[in-house]
């Protein structure tokens, strides 16, 4: 330890330069990796166009995880129920990109469409997620086709949210609002005073806004029930999927993880060497200056 302090005392400038280089390296590599996982959930907004609300719900998806949805009270009348269906699959596949394309192609063949797709780490151990909508009456057909793509179905979760009661309540509310609007229109037709006309028009605008909101929500319920949403998570590695595998210890998987870790550290070492090379004018000039001062017997 005394030798270290002695070297620092005799080479102050070199020590300062080393501290500067170490600071830049620390700043480059000190930030930890953060993995942010979002959870898809359904919120049924009270206002807005049905089509726009459906599209906003589609864009909101993008993560891993599920929350239980509220269930309507059971009823004896099960005919013409309005149920919003959502399905989640975790599949281990041999080729993530090809499987993702096949999932989208199958959805389009069934009369559906892609909502969003993502692909991570395509070179080493690719993982992906894809969300599609398919007609509700063809959901089972889509699920069967997607299961056939997998080497192993790691998990499967099917959710259904019954919105029949909300839909019926909205129909009754809409009828009341329409009747109220008709009454105000009759009052407006017989109004004479300007103040009365302005007040009635204000009420009519408010009623029309409520009617539009209810109609938008009804359209959202209808369209969401007609087109089921299906989210599929894909990976070549079972451990990369959002659900725990059945076997917690597998030597072949651990070997792959060790290889990836080695490659990552080699890349970090190479990056550090590149940084040192880029900053070489700084520390080379410092070393040359120290050598010059030593030859001149000038204390550093």
Instruction: Tell me the domain boundaries of the chain.
Output: 2-25+252-295, 76-162+226-241, 166-221
* Rounded mean pLDDT, 135-155: 91
Report domain 76-162+226-241's class. alpha beta
Q: Determine the pLDDT at residue 109.
A: 94
* Rounded mean pLDDT, 87-102: 90
For the cut 60, the answer to whether the pLDDT of residue 197 exceeds it is yes
Decide if 21 contacts 276 (C-beta within 8 A).
yes
| pLDDT confidence tier of residue 1, bands split at 50, 70 and 90 | low
For the cut 80, the answer to whether the pLDDT of residue 116 exceeds it is yes
Q: Determine the pLDDT at residue 88.
A: 92
Query: Average model confidence (pLDDT) for the chain?
Result: 77
**The whole model's pTM is what?**
0.55
| pLDDT confidence tier of residue 143, bands split at 50, 70 and 90 | very high
């Amino acid at each position: 330890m005394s030798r270290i302090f002695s070297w620092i005392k005799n080479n102050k400038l070199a020590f300062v330069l080393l501290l500067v280089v170490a600071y830049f390296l620390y700043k480059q590599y000190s930030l930890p990796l953060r993995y942010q996982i979002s959870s898809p959930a359904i919120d049924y907004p009270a206002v807005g166009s049905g089509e726009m609300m459906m599209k906003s719900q589609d864009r909101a998806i993008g993560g891993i995880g599920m929350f239980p949805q509220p269930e309507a009270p059971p009823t004896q009348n099960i005919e013409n129920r309005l149920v919003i269906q959502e399905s989640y699959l975790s599949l281990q596949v041999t080729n993530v990109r090809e499987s993702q394309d096949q999932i989208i192609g199958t959805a389009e063949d069934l009369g559906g469409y892609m909502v969003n797709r993502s692909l991570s780490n395509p070179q080493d151990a690719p993982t992906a997620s894809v969300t599609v909508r398919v007609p509700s009456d063809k959901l089972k057909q889509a699920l069967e086709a997607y299961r056939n793509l997998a080497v192993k179905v790691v998990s499967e979760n099917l959710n259904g949210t019954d919105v029949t009661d909300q839909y019926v309540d909205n129909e009754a509310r809409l009828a009341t609002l329409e009747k109220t609007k008709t009454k105000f229109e009759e009052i407006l037709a017989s109004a004479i005073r300007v103040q009365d006309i302005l007040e009635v028009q204000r009420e009519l605008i408010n009623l029309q806004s409520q009617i539009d909101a209810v109609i938008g929500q009804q359209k959202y319920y209808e369209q969401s029930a007609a087109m089921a949403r299906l989210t599929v998570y894909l990976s070549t590695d079972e451990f990369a999927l959002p659900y725990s595998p059945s076997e917690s210890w597998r030597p072949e998987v651990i070997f792959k993880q060790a290889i990836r870790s080695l490659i990552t550290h080699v890349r970090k070492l190479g990056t550090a060497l590149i940084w040192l090379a880029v900053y070489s004018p700084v520390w080379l000039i410092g070393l040359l200056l120290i050598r010059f001062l030593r030859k001149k017997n000038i204390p550093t």
